[in-house]
Amino acid sequence: MSLLHATERPAFARGPRWWGVLLALLLGLFLTLRPAVAAQLGAYLPQIQASEIFPGADRIGPPAGEPPLAPVYAGDRLLGQVWLNTDVTDATGYSGKPIHMLVAADAEGVIRGIRLMDHHEPIVLIGIPQPRIVAALNTLVGAAMGPVARGEARPPQVDIVSGATVTILVMADSVVRSTVRLLRAGRLGAAPVAVGAAAAAPAPATLLPGPGEVRDWDSLLGDGSIRRLHLTIGEVNEAFARSGNQAAADNPEPGDADETFIDLYAAPVSVPTIGRSLLGDDGYQRLTARLKPGQQAILVAGEGAYSFKGSGYVRGGIFDRIELLQDGRPLRFRDRDHTRLGDIAADGAPRLPEIALFVVPVEFGLDPTEPWQVQLLVQRAIGARDKAFLSFELGYRLPEQYLSRPAPAAAPVAAQPASPVGAGAATVTEGSVEEPLWQRIWRAKTWDVGITAVALGILTLIFFFQDQLVRRPTLYRWVRRGFLVWTLVWLGWYANAQLSVVNVITFTNSLLTGFSWNYFLTAPLIFVLWCGVAAALVFWGRGVFCGWLCPFGALQELLANVAQKLKVPQWTLPWGLHERLWPIKYVIFLGLFGLSLHSVALAEQAAEVEPFKTAIILKFVRDWPFTLYAIGLLTAGLFVERFFCRYLCPLGAALAIPGRLRTFEWLKRWSECGSPCQRCARECPVQSIHPEGNINPNECIYCMHCQELYRAEDRCPHNIQLRLKRQKQQALSAVPVPGAKGPKTTITRTGKTADATPAAAPGP
């Protein structure tokens, strides 16, 4: 417990907790005033033309059935059906609100069109342009869902937009899952699609042993040993035009429409026949000497106007234009996996300018006997900084002549019954379409979650053993700055795990309108961080997050440290003014909360008072007003440390309210703190120490600077007095008592003791 001197407590600690009463009133209003609005398919259909959702259609019929589907016609010919995704499956986005989309598919389950109708995603409302989200989602158009519904193929992949990963995955998952459910229920085709094959599943295949034979280029290309993807400039321009990104469509690739954009080839050279043919005997022997047991290698080669290598791997070591996929698992090759080849050894092989040998990392576990794909990402500049992206897939299946397949078992595998439309999402085989989206995301983020959990464990140890840490000032400063760098660079700029007041508004709204864990679990790092922050509120209050886990707060403090090193003037506001400014953030938070009573979407837009999205999520690549605002706050922080945290941060205010309920008090104080000593109050980086000596827990960021001073024997006046008293007592204990035996000592003017016993006479 802290040692507080017997003075009146500051105003912030007296009286009833008025903010609790106010919040209770706001919650009551929220419950009584917030309307419930249900989206209807019939309400959205008049907003679109038939050809916009289904190419070649001229009219849409009335919705029918449960869930409702609207037939699409070209004249009297039935082309397919249109439905509202949320009528069939859940599509709760980052905002906690459903994302409404119209989806069209034909009788075979091929997706023909997707139209985003309504959403409340804050990252899209203000931040990432909506056409980028639409372009990423439109990569599903043309995908056949029949094989997915029968369990013969994995769900298709979509392009990911940095900063909107959860939104894109939720939207794509809803489109795929709703189509599959309608197929299995027989709503799109003539009969329900059963899951599983009626015949016995083929036995696992293995590669044929032996050295293999050497074959020429044409025979390898003819039987599928080498797979090819050929795109013309016209085909790429048409694909961008269909993507819905008008800026990309208005900036076509220059050149003749029939000119080759890229001619791409891929083959697994770890298969003996293919490897010996393409690499030559010497090259194949060198490759096999490098490969570990079970490790595979592929050859990728190409020519044309577009380079599959690009230049990203030169700057960052990652090949950002191609990606290896198997069973929905992606792999981006790095420069350490790459070997440049000058030519291909097979007879009749063309002279290709780009030939790359990629060794697949062992941990990826590429199975050459199963299908895999090389995904080509085509980039197109649509502005000074923005780019549009489209992906094209080169699929590969190893020809049977290279495989040894045992005879299948005699007993057939029973087919699974079709899932009824509207049934809950039952988990079947790992990675299947019916596996909940959040489980797939967590499996893909295993390493990120592990790193975050370890960091939270380290931070917990720092707080529990803070007394031992602050006794070593140099170590304390290195630990704190090192953790802040990790928070900013890894947690913020790399993982985009920046908590926001939007999370608080969304969580509160979900409690009142139908709470579901599925939405919150789709962002693993955000979920883990909120769990850690919630636990920390009980022990230490808001300071754990604000002082250690907030990327924007870390950016402010690190910039302030640089400014102090460069002798930038530091302004200390008068206490009376400072005390009247810090309630501004509480007013902002309550204003946002009150605005959410009327419209959560408006509250999320008003939450742009937080510069987190600009500075951390989008890394300052944004419209100039938002960028200027964020830079202005950071500039103010160079003169008034953590200016935004002190006076404007609504998330800090939201955390301070439950933080008042903390159970323990870890910050120690001396009885002299505040009267007469003011050193901690003067040196507190956020002025959270009252002139009377009390620490305001609502404002404290738990940087531990006051605790480091508390233990410093050369700077804390209390410790200095104790040290002087201790030295005086030691000196007095050295003065001889009259009549005492033994050597005599005297105290010199310098405070040192000297032996006063006469020296013995020298011997003869």
Q: Which strand ranges, in their side-by-side order, compose the sheet holding 338-340? A: 227-232, 260-268, 297-303, 354-359, 338-340
Alpha carbon dihedral 485, 488, 490, 495, in 10-degree steps, equals 170
In order, the DSSP letters of 9-71 are: PPGGGSS--HHHHHHHHHHHHHHHHPPP----HHHHGGGS-HHHHSTT--EE---BTTTTBEE
Token digits for 445? 């983020």
Name the DSSP letter for residue 252. P
Closest CA to 509 of 167, 94, 38, 20: 94
- Residue-wise pLDDT tens digits, 342-393: 999 999 999 999 999 999 998 888 999 888 999 888 887 776 666 777 788 8
**CA–CA separation, 614 vs 525, rounded Å?**
19
Neighbours of 15 (CB within 10 A): 8
**CB hemisphere CA count around 44 (13 angstroms):** 25
**Model pLDDT, residue 557:** 92
**Contact criterion met (CB below 8 Å) for 665 and 2:** yes
CB of 295 closer than 8 Å to CB of 270: yes
Flag residues of the chain having pLDDT under 70.
Answer: 1-39, 93-97, 120-129, 159-166, 189-203, 244, 312-316, 328, 383-386, 406-437, 510, 512-519, 664, 734-764
| Residue 650 backbone zone (phi > 0: left; psi -120 to 50: alpha; other: beta) | alpha
Q: What is the pLDDT of residue 11?
A: 37
Task: Please report which helix (H) or strand (E) contains residue 710, including its range.
Answer: helix 705-711
CA nearest neighbour of 191 among 248, 149, 142, 222 = 149
Exposure of 393 in the CB half-sphere (CA atoms within 13 A): 19
Q: How far, in Å, CA of 141 to CA of 101, rounded?
A: 13
Q: How high is the pLDDT of residue 279?
A: 93
Could you identify the residue written with the tokens 């937080």?
610
What would the two tokens of residue 534 be? 């919630």
The helix or strand, by DSSP H or E, that contains position 729, with its residue range, turns out to be: helix 717-733
Helix (DSSP H) and strand (DSSP E) numbers for the chain: 32, 18
**Type of residue at 340:** R
Element (H, E) at 440: helix 437-444
Q: What secondary structure, in 3-state letters, does 271-296 show? A: CHHHHHHHHHHHHHHHHHHHCCCCCC
Distance between start and end Cα atoms, the chain: 69
CA distances from 764 to 118, 257, 701, 757, 761 (A): 112, 118, 75, 21, 9
pLDDT tens digits along 659-710: 777 776 777 777 777 777 878 888 888 888 888 878 888 888 888 888 888 7
Amino acid identity, residue 6? A
Quote the pLDDT of residue 223. 83
Whether the CA torsion 343, 349, 352, 355 is positive or negative: it is: negative
pLDDT of 265: 95
> Mean of the per-residue pLDDT values for the chain?
78
> Among residues 718, 712, 554, 726, which one has the least CA distance to residue 644?
554
The pTM of the whole model exceeds 0.85: no
For residue 414, the model assigns a pLDDT of 40
- What is residue 163's predicted lDDT score, i.e. its pLDDT? 57
Tokens of 704: 């531990």
Give pLDDT, residue 407.
59
**pLDDT for the residue numbered 93:** 64
Read off φ and ψ for residue 200, nearest 5 degrees: -65, 140
pLDDT in tens, 158-176: 766 655 666 777 888 888 8
How far is CA 723 from its chain centroid?
A: 51
Euclidean distance between CA atoms 44 and 102, whole angstroms: 8
Closest-CA residue to 96 (of 482, 604, 761): 604
What is the spatial distance between Cα 437 and Cα 592, in angstroms, rounded to a whole number? 30
Q: Considering Cα of 468, then 473, then 478, then 482, what sign does the dihedral take?
A: positive
Alpha helices, DSSP H, located in 540-623? 543-544, 551-565, 575-581, 584-598, 600-606, 612
Going 200 to 206 to 209 to 211, the CA torsion angle's sign is positive
Q: What is the pLDDT of residues 413-459, one digit of tens each?
A: 444 444 444 333 333 333 455 566 677 778 778 898 999 999 999 99
- Spell out a b/e string for 550-584, using b for 16 or more CB atoms within 10 Å of the CB, else e: bbbbbbbbebbbebeeeeeeeeeeeeeebbeebee
Q: Could you give the CA distance from residue 677 to residue 692 in angstroms, rounded to a whole number?
A: 9
Q: Where are the alpha helices (DSSP H) in 117-164?
A: 122-125, 130-137, 146-149
Longest distance between any two alpha carbons in the chain, whole Å? 138
Contact (Cβ atoms closer than 8 angstroms) between residue 687 and residue 575: yes
pLDDT of amino acid 237? 86
CA 390 – CA 747 distance, rounded (Å): 87
- The pair of structure tokens assigned to 420 is 């009824």
* 8 A C-beta contact, residue 126 and residue 149: no
CA nearest neighbour of 266 among 308, 329, 319: 308
Residues in the chain: 764
The predicted structure's pLDDT at residue 57: 84
